[in-house]
Amino acid sequence: MVRLGLPALVVALLVVVALRSDRALPPAELIYVDAAPAFTLDPQRIAYEQDIRLGNALYEGLVRWDPETFDVLPGVAERWEIEDGGLKYTFRLRENARWSNGDRVVAGDFLHSWRRGLLPDTAGDYAKILFAIRGAKAFFDWRVGALKEYGARPAGARNGDTALAMWEESVRRFDELVGVRAPDDRTLVLELDRPLPYMLDLLAFVPTFPAHPGTVDRWSRLDAKTGRMEQDHSWTKPPRLVSNGPYRLVSWRFKRDMRMERNPHYWNAGAVKAGSVEARVIEDPNTRVLAFRTGAVDWVTDVHAEYLPDLLAEAEGSERPTIRGFDRFGTYFWSFNCTPTLSGGRSNPFVDARVRRAFSMGLDRRAIVEDLRRVGEHVAETFVPRGSIRGYDEDGSVRGLPFDVIGARDELARAGWSVREPGGELRNDRGEPFPVVTLLASTGSYHVLIAQAMASMWEKALGVRTSIVVKETKTYRDDLKRRDYIVARGGWFGDYADPTSFLNVHASGDGNNDRGYSNPAFDELMARAAGERDPEQRLALLEEAEQLSLDEAPIIPIWVYRQFYQYDAERISGITSHPRMAQFLHLIEPHGGGR
Amino acid sequence: MSGLILRRLVQLPLVLLVIYSVTFALAWALPGSAVLQDEQRAPPPEVIAAMEARYDLDHPWAFYGGYLARLVTRGDFGPSLRYPDWSVGEIIAGALPVSMALGLAAVGIALVIGVGAGVVGAARPGGVLDVATLMLALLGISLPTFVAGAALLLLFPVALGLGSVGGWGGIGDLALPAFTLSLPFAAYIARLTRSGMIEAMRSDYVRTARAKGVSETGVLLRHALPNAFLPVLSYLGPAAAAAMTGSFVVERIFNVPGIGQHFVSAVLNKDLFLIMGVVLVYATILLVMNLMVDVLYRIVDPRIRAG
């Protein structure tokens, strides 16, 4: 037995050493909890909500959003002029804008970052945002072609020199093609092909924020084999990350926590409320709620426990409620496959807008939201959340389809489908039954429950047979992209304050048009809106386009997404209820107490 | 003994190669795109194609060979496809020590509880204590950790204010997850110990010890336990490996930043490099643990040493 004492002692020592190396930092002034870890802190690659929140804390763009109204306010640019009928923007950068290492923020930093953002090598999800700039798309396409051509060269013709030559050519092309110039360190000139009413909104969006050029270049190198600019993302880790926003990065532990402290070089450091912020990741919804309950954290950014309806009921009667729901700039919907054939070559009845309309009208969405969800979401009557964009559909004239079973049956009859005997099945004139309507949901959330409700409503109202298929998210997405489905769950969040942020997904051939919906009349309206110089006329055309797409029903909008936060308003203040939900960490003020 | 260690060390890379090949085949066959993520805005198709080419995702054999070559020559596990700012090496280096500390603590707790319960039970088979420990062991084996963990979380930090929820960093944060993780191991060890003890207590040398007038405690601990412990020891190898490579459920409930979560999430994300990395690390730990148990066996049991 004694002989085992030594190994036991070694084991105990190992445990202690492992724990010692992992000591916690003293608690930050503000601790908030995310449900998912940050993916990247590279502004040009940032796309997810939790990353956008961190991006807004670490970086600052030319302009920024007012947290309450989401109007555009000065950021790194202290003022700007818009000339040539909205085609030319001249930004004057503030003299005292600094990086966290003390370097000045200059106009060339934006140039460098946008060039990087436009490289296919960077593979930014939001590269398209920059396509608003004149010549940006042409540069992107040129570089894609150049890389393809380079890769096809014989191995002997690919080396460090040839890669460098192509890179220098790319830099030259960028300067030549893309409408961005920095005449001096404090002036940035931006040119567009056509006026874009939401251009400033795009410049307040993290993917257009600058990354520190010196740091990025140190971690980038040309790959002689492919000619690509390979970027080692180690530069986003502390202590290397250099940022120009309210905070600087102190530590980042994978899927665990991130700590930021006030950036002393930030030009507006006095406006930064919490001196230190910790972003913690707790993936389990129940543990998130318990962590808040024990006072370990100030703010939970996503409360989605199964007992959420009970939590909300409890908060309703409380004098000091801690659960709050906010409508978001996004819509939960179900998609119809709008292509003529289904998998296996069967013909798809949903290619007919009348059939889609009938299924949309046969659905009692109010019942789904009020009896099934029970968390206070609003029924989505439109795809673009109503009242979310200033000047767009302010009179509520854009109308979605109503819940109308009789009307739904009429639509089906017009499309050649009817139920002949009471309680019978939906058949066409030749007596063939309507194909089994398969509802495709993904695992891990409430989608299956919604699918069950929809299926039973359709069976009762329309006399169709249904089946529900549940797939792992990856497989579900694969099926969606291959259009191997009949009806599938979906959802969409807007990126910028313009209806096109939603409506573009209905455009023929759009990369996010998972429905394969294509209507030349819709495309025509969108093109006319894009060319329209009068902002009011433009929005009117977009209203027309949305109305058309609602009548044609490639999707059934079900509810406006709602976000649930948990925080105590007496402990922290400064959280905005605006649907854009881009919270600005530096404006959140901890009042102490509780923790 | 050095012959045994040498032989095993030579076998190790071969076994790992087989495991690598099988894992690769399975991971490659996973449905879905490895670079396109859930809920992601679709980037231009050229960008997707370029990324796939960059990681050899368009050529299975190039991926298979390239990964192996980078791993052997540079110790490079590759990047995480899902979390582009992190390499698999960094992810494992951050998570493995956490899981090892938690796992070792859990095995330690399991040993103390399990052997203790086994000895107490075997001292008077069929007695009240024996039945009680057997019942507890049954409970420990059958109670899922997500129930035990949630109950402990509600009892200690939430109701009694002891310890934290969703934090990690001190001995205090280790206690609850380690205890939860130890329960099934402790139950199994208790049953192994009890049956080994009962058998040993019937043997001749125990009768001899009793005849010599050795006290009952002395008989139990000095004479019966060392022999009864052997099956426990052989169980400890795989148990320690399993405990040290994390538990998805325990890590999730207690928000422990260990490696167990990656076994599940890497597969769901089709994060090929991470899948290969965690499987290889797990396999290596399992093989090394089994080797260590074999070595310990020879130290504890002279019969094996002689044989």
Please write the tens of the pLDDT for every residue from A440-469: 999 978 999 999 999 999 999 999 999 999
Lowest mean pLDDT across A51-65, A83-97, A568-582, B40-54: B40-54
- Contact at 8 Å (CB) between A44 and A233? no
A228 contacts B166? CB cut-off 8 A: no
A12 contacts B108? CB cut-off 8 A: yes
SS3 (DSSP) at A81: strand
pLDDT over 90, % of chain A = 80
Q: Contacts of residue A11 in chain B, CB cutoff 8 Å?
A: 104, 107-108
* Per-residue CA distances from A539 to A296, A400, A522, B170 (Å): 47, 18, 14, 57
pLDDT at A366: 97
pLDDT at A24 over 70: no
How confident is the model over A44-72, as a mean pLDDT?
94
Q: Which of residues 192-251 of B touch A (CB under 8 A)?
A: 221-222, 225-226, 229
How confident is the model over A473-493, as a mean pLDDT?
92
Query: Whole-number mean pLDDT of chain B?
Result: 88
Residue linked to tokens 């643990």: B289
- Contact at 8 Å (CB) between A443 and A471? yes
How confident is the model over B26-33, as a mean pLDDT?
90
pLDDT at A1 over 60: no
pLDDT at B228: 86
Q: Give residue-wise pLDDT tens across range A349-399.
A: 999 999 999 999 999 999 999 999 999 999 999 999 998 999 999 999 999
Query: Whole-number mean pLDDT of chain A?
Result: 93
Partners of A557 in the beta sheet?
A333
SS3 (DSSP) at B38: coil
Dihedral of CA A34/B51/B36/A48: which sign?
positive
pLDDT at A140 over 80: yes
Nearest CA in chain B to A229: B54
Structure tokens at B20: 């690598």
User: Which residues 6+ apart lie within 8 Å of A448 measured at CB?
Assistant: A441, A468, A470
Nearest CA in chain A to B105: A15
Partners of A222 in the beta sheet?
A229
Nearest CA in chain A to B157: A294
Closest listed residue to residue A521, CA positions, set A481, A555, A551, A491:
A551
Identity of the residue numbered A6? L
pLDDT at A266 over 90: yes
pLDDT at B307: 46
pLDDT over 90, % of chain B = 39
Interface probe for B, chosen from A2, A474, A478, A482 (most Cβ of B below 10 Å), is: A474
pLDDT at B4: 82
pLDDT at A413: 96
Lowest mean pLDDT across A179-183, A282-286, B109-113, B159-163: B159-163
pLDDT at A540: 97
- Contact at 8 Å (CB) between B99 and B258? yes
Dihedral of CA B94/B97/B101/B107: which sign?
positive
User: Which residues 6+ apart lie within 8 Å of B101 measured at CB?
Assistant: A14, A15, A18, A19, A22, B174
pLDDT at A435: 95
Confidence of residue A18 (pLDDT cuts 50, 70, 90): low
Nearest to B174 among A3, A19, A481 (CB): A19
Confidence of residue A261 (pLDDT cuts 50, 70, 90): very high
Confidence of residue B246 (pLDDT cuts 50, 70, 90): confident
Higher local confidence (pLDDT), B4 or B24: B24
* Per-residue CA distances from A339 to A349, A481, A482, A507, B78 (Å): 9, 12, 11, 14, 40
Distance CA(A315)–CA(B286), nearest Å, equals 49
> What ipTM, to 2 d.p.?
0.88
User: Which residues 6+ apart lie within 8 Å of A438 measured at CB?
Assistant: A466, A467, A468, A469, A485, A486, A487
SS3 (DSSP) at A56: helix
B54 contacts A474? CB cut-off 8 A: no
